[in-house]
Structures are given as structure tokens and as C-alpha cells.
Amino acid sequence: MHIVDGALSNPVVIGGAVLAVGGLAQGLRHLPMEKIPVAGMLSAAFFVASLIHVPIGPSSVHLVLNGLAGLVLGWAAFPALFVGLLLQAVFFGFGGLTVLGVNTVIIAGPAVLVGLALGRRIQTASLKGAAVWGAIGGALAIALTTLFVALALTLTGDEFIPAARLVFLAHIPVMAIEALLTGAAVYLAKQVKPELFDNIAGART
């Protein structure tokens, strides 16, 4: 879900930009040069994943997978997803320029929160347990994202409250799909390459 230029009030746009800069600074502190190849590669992987459309009834939705990004990248998910949003805005025309900060907070904020809350559990849990935590993380990230969208719209003005409510309701099926996919992805990745969840941003917190 991208917010476009001109829709939000100035305080919300500026607040979003400030938060995004803070998040980027914090994310980059966890990324020494040595980690750039793996972070860049995973950032590219999540960019490609967001181009995948999965069917839902007669329609289809594209994946976000910010929960999975948070579980794998930790704090580094913030700059990684920012890069993806920047490229989408510049080359695809999705989203906007002044709202880039708000959009980054909306997508990457939940990713980092899920990563911090559940990352350790995924590392230590059994295979099945990790898949379940992964599914919870996938759903939680989308729920938080729509909540952040709703918050940005509501802070802008009361006239957006119905739209914000609609955004949340429309994303309930997306939460279910992201939960299933994230669970399955965690199940496979933990079996094949458990190091993936060692949190590439490192335990420097």
C-alpha cells in the first residue's frame, strides 16, 4: 500500500521523513561494508518477491513480505526496504517523493518491529515452531502496516477515517496470505539454510 504525494498533511509528511531518517541511520549502523553484499542481495530478493502476484479468488494481490524481511534482516530491513521503495517510486512511479519517508516507515517500521520481537524465537524454535512464528510475524507485519497507513491518514484529517477503515478491512485476506507464505518460506529456509535467520545485521545491539 503506497501513499501518494499531496494526500497527507505537512506535519505527517515531515514526521514520517524524520522517523525514516532515524530508522535509516540506525539500520546503517548495523551494516558494516562486509555485510553489504548479503544485505543488497536480500534487498533485491525482496524487491523481486514484491513483483510476484498470487491469486486470491478471481483477483490477485502482490506480495509485500515485510515480515519475512524483518525476520531475516533485522534492523538492516529498514535501509533495504527503503532502497526498494526508492526504486519503485523513481522507475515504476509507485508512491511518491515527499511521502517516501512516510512510506518507508509504513513498510519498514513493521518489518523491524517483527524482526526484533520474533527473530530470536525463530532462531531457537523447532522447525514447525519456527514456521508458526513465521506465519504470526507475516500476518503481524501486514496488520501493523495497515495500522500505520490508517494512522497517517487519520492524523491528516477526519475525512480520511472511512478510507483508513476500508484499507484495514481490505487487507485482512492479504494478512492471511502473507502469514501462510511467510510460514512456508521460514519452514523451507530454516531446513535448508538455518544461518539465514542468524540476523545478518548481527547481534551488535
Partner 1 sequence: MSPVFTTLDKPLNQTGGREQLSWLGRIDPRARILAALAFAITIVACDSFPVLIGGVLMALLLLVNSRLPARRTLKRMATMDSFILFILVLLPFTVPGEPMFTVMGLTASWEGLWQAVEIGLKANAVILALMALVGTMEPVTLGHALHGLKVPETLVHLLMFTVRYIDVLREEYLRLRQAMKARGFRPATSWHSYRSFGYLVGMMLVRSMERSERILGAMKCRGFTGRITLLDRHAYGARDAVFAAGIALLLVSLVIAEVSLGAV
Judge whether 182 and 65 are in contact, CB under 8 Å: yes
One-letter amino acid for residue 6 of the chain: G
Q: Nearest approach, Cβ of 119 to partner 1 (angstroms)?
A: 15
Among 63, 114, 118, 122, which residue sits at the site for partner 1 (rule: CB under 8 A)? Answer: 63
Residues in 4-23 that interact with partner 1 by CB under 8 A: 4-7, 10, 13
Q: Which residues contact 16 (CB under 8 A, 6 or more apart)?
A: 8, 99, 101, 102, 103, 104, 105, 152
Does 189 engage in binding with partner 1 (CB under 8 A)? yes
- Stretch of 105-113, 114-122, 140-148, 186-194 contacting partner 1, by CB under 8 A: 186-194
- Stretch of 43-51, 107-115, 117-125, 139-147 contacting partner 1, by CB under 8 A: 43-51
Judge whether 27 and 78 are in contact, CB under 8 Å: yes
- Stretch of 106-114, 117-125, 140-148, 174-182 contacting partner 1, by CB under 8 A: 174-182
Q: Nearest approach, Cβ of 77 to partner 1 (angstroms)?
A: 12
Residues in 121-150 that interact with partner 1 by CB under 8 A: none
Among 42, 112, 113, 152, which residue sits at the site for partner 1 (rule: CB under 8 A)? Answer: 42
How far is it, in rounded angstroms, from Cα 17 to Cα 20?
5
Reduced to 3 states (helix: H, G, I; strand: E, B; else coil), residue 203 is coil
Cell 513493521 maps to which residue? 110
Reduced to 3 states (helix: H, G, I; strand: E, B; else coil), residue 9 is coil
Packed helices 77-87 and 10-29: angle between N→C axes, nearest 10 degrees: 130
Catalogue the E-assigned strands of the chain: 53-56, 59-62
Residues in 87-126 that interact with partner 1 by CB under 8 A: 87, 89-98
Q: Nearest approach, Cβ of 161 to partner 1 (angstroms)?
A: 7
Q: Nearest approach, Cβ of 144 to partner 1 (angstroms)?
A: 20
Nearest to partner 1 of 2, 121 (CB atom): 2
